[in-house]
């Protein structure tokens, strides 16, 4: 099935009489069908399922361009059809895809019961509606991404059609599967895996180690493979953190022109973090490995997929994302290779335990022969406290410091830990009522990341989702104050709590606050997330009292650490040792072999040995540059 005639033959017995296909084309992994007399198509509510079943693809149904109403007339119709309470914030017409893009504060009202409003829009205007949720907080990132995707519609159309031809062209069957470790093995940072079959080459994640500027330690071992980037068939991303996605624009800068698969929130957060990465490096007098134009081009090559959506990414490989529970949109990657040749799961970063933000990672898959699992907290002593105990201790440390007229500085990742800590502190403030004792300042990219969370409430726990949908987003609580004035004024002012990225003090506003607050013994720096072996955060955590940091004039200066230093475990978006083992125990089906990665050397080794001993599953901890024959 690789042309219009093949598709028409498949669909002729299914389509009602009078419903004429004028064009059908492969649009990336999907099939787009253009019809005349679309009314006849919608006369059967189950027709789309029948077509998808016949073609075994996701099907996009559109009116033939000749049937589209002029945009000004269509806009008037849409305004009549959609109730005003839907809060439409923008309407754009994309003739390249015969789509009308509708941004709305309440997408459910634009969709209507059982899709009735969407159906009215397409029947009365011809334009296929694409509904996007407007974040409840202003977001420059969301605004910029949606504007760019709209402006580059012509590029994306050509890109998707070219990709569709590749995916739909059958070749010889593969008879082997191999995986090569290119980064993130026996270390944290620059995660990158190369999956190869007889026919395909696919990268799983492509990150940087933002804690060092040494190229040999900061970037994946792409050169070691002697692999031309135009030979890559796809890049698949588990989530947006830079150690998993931060090197992707480099691939674009040096010639990769294929698809990048991720969830919609991962795409948006990744763009935000990559722009910020460039800015931080430039402010510190360093050269970024890519430019902003490469990030923009990367965006237009992203193909967003929801959880549990099966997607053909090559003629032989099917991809499905599953909830990983780590950050917004984070995924485990399931790959079905060949006709039952091999099934692989790569967890990325997972949380198999309670968080206030997300449901925990899923453990049920169709098939698994091989599992690659993170080991950040895989060591024998990596046991986190009970969550309630951790929250009580956090609140008590804050209370004590404020009572002593000090300030609490919490370095956090702008995506993930910051939102989790905001939820904890918001509940603490509610419980305290009018006696809540101090302002909580939010700096850096935290507010922007929180705004993106409000655009994807369906990815959040139901309790948080309900609040966002009812315009009571916890991220917009009155207790949080965005930093608008000079940071020095906050540091020299009244007792307060400051949340600022980066979580490991590798750059950003966190370093500024540390330098200004470190010498006052009344202040407290409180770590709530992982600190890598090379990070400034780990040095402070380990008790160093004199820390060399880059000064405002680009020279090294020494900061004396007189402030209190403490760590509250239990808030991590990573699973601790017990959770990792329970995750593996509850996997269905059981994998035949397990490989550990994304952890310090001892932790990866220890987790692999434990799995082997406890569960009698072949397990080991590869090194970077190891090649593993899977089939």
Q: Which domains does the chain have, with CATH numbers?
A: 4-66 (3.30.300.230), 69-134 (3.30.300.20), 156-381+574-629 (3.60.15.10), 387-444+483-567 (3.40.50.10890)
Mode of pairing for the β-strands spanning 30-36 and 20-27: antiparallel
Distance between CA atoms of 520 and 524, rounded to whole angstroms? 9
d(Cα 612, Cα 607) in Å, to the nearest integer? 9
Question: What is residue 433's DSSP assignment?
Answer: G
Q: What is the pLDDT of residues 58-99, one digit of tens each?
A: 999 999 999 999 999 999 999 999 999 999 999 999 999 999
Looking at residue 535, the DSSP 8-state letter turns out to be S
Question: What's the first-to-final CA gap in the chain, in angstroms?
Answer: 28
Indicate the pLDDT class of residue 443, thresholds 50, 70 and 90. very high
CA distance 593 to 286: 42
Quote the CA–CA distance of 371 and 356 in Å, as a whole number.
27
Query: Cβ contacts of residue 574 below 8 Å, gap of 6+?
Result: 326, 349, 350, 351, 374, 376, 377, 530
The pair of three-digit structure tokens given for residue 226, joined into one six-digit string = 């002697």
How do strand 370-374 and strand 234-236 relate by DSSP bridges? unpaired
Q: Is 244 annotated as a binding residue?
A: yes
| Model confidence at 358: pLDDT above 80 | yes
pLDDT at position 434, please?
66
Asked whether residue 4 carries a pLDDT value surpassing 70, the answer given is no
What would the pLDDT profile of 257-278 be if each residue is shown by its tens digit?
Answer: 999 999 999 999 999 999 999 9
The mean predicted confidence, pLDDT, of the chain is 93
Q: What angle do CA 492, 530, 252 make, to 5 degrees?
A: 100
Distances (CA, A) of 566 to 118, 410, 529, 591: 53, 10, 12, 39
For residue 518, give the DSSP letter: T
Cβ–Cβ under 8 Å, residues 380 and 404:
no
pTM exceeds cut of 0.85: yes
Residue 322 assigned as binding residue: no
Q: Please report, to the nearest 10 degrees, the dihedral formed by the alpha carbons of residues 460, 466, 467, 469 taken in order.
A: 100
Helix (H, G, I), strand (E, B) or coil at 130: strand
Q: Judge whether 241 is annotated as a binding position.
A: yes
Three-state SS for 349? coil
> If you average pLDDT over residues 544-561, what whole number do you get?
82
Which residue did the predictor score with more confidence, 71 or 16?
71
399 annotated as ligand-binding: no
CA quadruple 166, 172, 174, 179: dihedral positive or negative?
negative
Rounded distance, CA 51 to CA 129, Å? 19
334 appears as a binding residue in the annotation: no
Are β-strands 627-629 and 177-183 bridged in parallel, bridged antiparallel, or unpaired? antiparallel
How many CB atoms are closer than 10 A to CB 147?
12
């Amino acid at each position: 099935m690789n042309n219009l005639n093949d598709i028409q033959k498949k669909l002729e017995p299914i389509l009602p009489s009078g419903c004429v296909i004028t064009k059908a084309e492969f649009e990336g992994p999907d099939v787009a069908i253009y019809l005349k007399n679309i009314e006849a198509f919608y006369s059967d509510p189950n027709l789309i399922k029948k077509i998808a079943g016949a073609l075994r693809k996701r099907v996009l149904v559109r009116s033939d361009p000749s049937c589209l109403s002029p945009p000004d007339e269509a806009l008037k119709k849409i305004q009549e059809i959609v109730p005003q309470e839907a809060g439409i914030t923008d309407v754009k017409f994309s003739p390249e895809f015969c789509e009308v893009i509708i941004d709305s504060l309440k997408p459910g009202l634009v969709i209507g019961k059982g899709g009735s409003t969407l159906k009215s829009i397409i029947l009365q205007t011809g334009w296929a509606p694409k509904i996007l949720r407007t974040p409840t907080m202003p977001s420059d990132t969301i605004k910029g991404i949606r504007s760019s995707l709209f402006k580059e519609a012509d590029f994306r159309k050509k890109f998707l059609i070219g990709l569709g031809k590749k995916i739909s062209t059958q070749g010889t069957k593969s008879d082997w599967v191999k995986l090569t470790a290119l980064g993130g093995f026996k270390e944290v940072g620059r995660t990158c895996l190369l999956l190869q079959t007889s026919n395909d080459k696919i990268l799983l994640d492509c990150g940087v180690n933002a804690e060092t500027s040494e190229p040999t330690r900061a970037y994946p071992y792409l050169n070691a493979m002697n692999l031309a980037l135009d030979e890559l068939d796809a890049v698949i991303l588990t989530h947006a953190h830079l150690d998993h996605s931060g090197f992707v624009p480099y691939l674009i800068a040096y010639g990769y022109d294929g698809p990048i698969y991720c969830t919609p929130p991962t795409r948006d957060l990744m763009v935000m973090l990559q722009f910020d990465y460039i800015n931080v490096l430039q402010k510190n007098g360093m050269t970024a490995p890519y430019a902003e134009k490469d990030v923009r081009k990367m965006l237009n090559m992203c193909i967003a997929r929801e959880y549990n959506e099966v997607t053909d990414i090559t003629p032989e490989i099917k991809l499905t994302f599953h909830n990983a529970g780590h950050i917004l949109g984070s995924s485990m990657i399931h790959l079905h290779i060949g006709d039952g040749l091999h099934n692989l799961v790569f967890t990325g970063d997972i949380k198999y335990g309670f968080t206030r933000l997300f449901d925990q990672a899923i453990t049920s898959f169709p098939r698994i022969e091989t599992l690659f699992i993170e080991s950040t907290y895989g060591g024998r002593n990596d046991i986190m406290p009970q969550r309630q105990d951790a929250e009580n201790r956090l609140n008590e440390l804050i209370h004590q410091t404020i009572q002593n007229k000090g300030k609490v500085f919490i370095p956090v990742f702008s995506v993930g830990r910051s939102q989790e800590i905001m939820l904890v502190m918001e509940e603490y403030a509610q419980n305290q009522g009018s006696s809540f004792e101090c302002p909580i300042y939010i700096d850096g990219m935290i507010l922007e990341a929180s705004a993106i969370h409000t655009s994807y409430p369906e990815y959040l726990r139901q309790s948080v989702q309900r609040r966002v949908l009812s315009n009571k987003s916890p991220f917009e609580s009155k207790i949080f104050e965005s930093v608008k004035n000079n940071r020095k004024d906050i540091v020299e002012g009244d007792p307060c709590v400051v949340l600022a990225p980066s979580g490991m003090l590798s750059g950003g506003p966190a370093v500024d606050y540390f330098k200004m607050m470190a010498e006052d013994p009344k202040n407290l720096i409180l770590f709530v997330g992982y600190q890598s072996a090379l990070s400034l955060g780990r040095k402070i955590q380990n008790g160093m009292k004199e820390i060399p940091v880059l000064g405002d004039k680009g020279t090294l200066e020494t900061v004396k650490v007189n402030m209190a230093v403490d760590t509250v475990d239990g808030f991590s978006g990573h699973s601790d040792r017990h959770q990792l083992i329970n995750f593996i125990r509850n996997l269905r089906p059981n994998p035949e072999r397990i490989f550990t990665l994304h952890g310090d050397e001892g932790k990866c080794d220890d987790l692999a040995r434990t799995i082997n001993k406890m569960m009698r599953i072949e397990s080991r901890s590869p090194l970077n540059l190891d090649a593993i024959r899977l089939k």
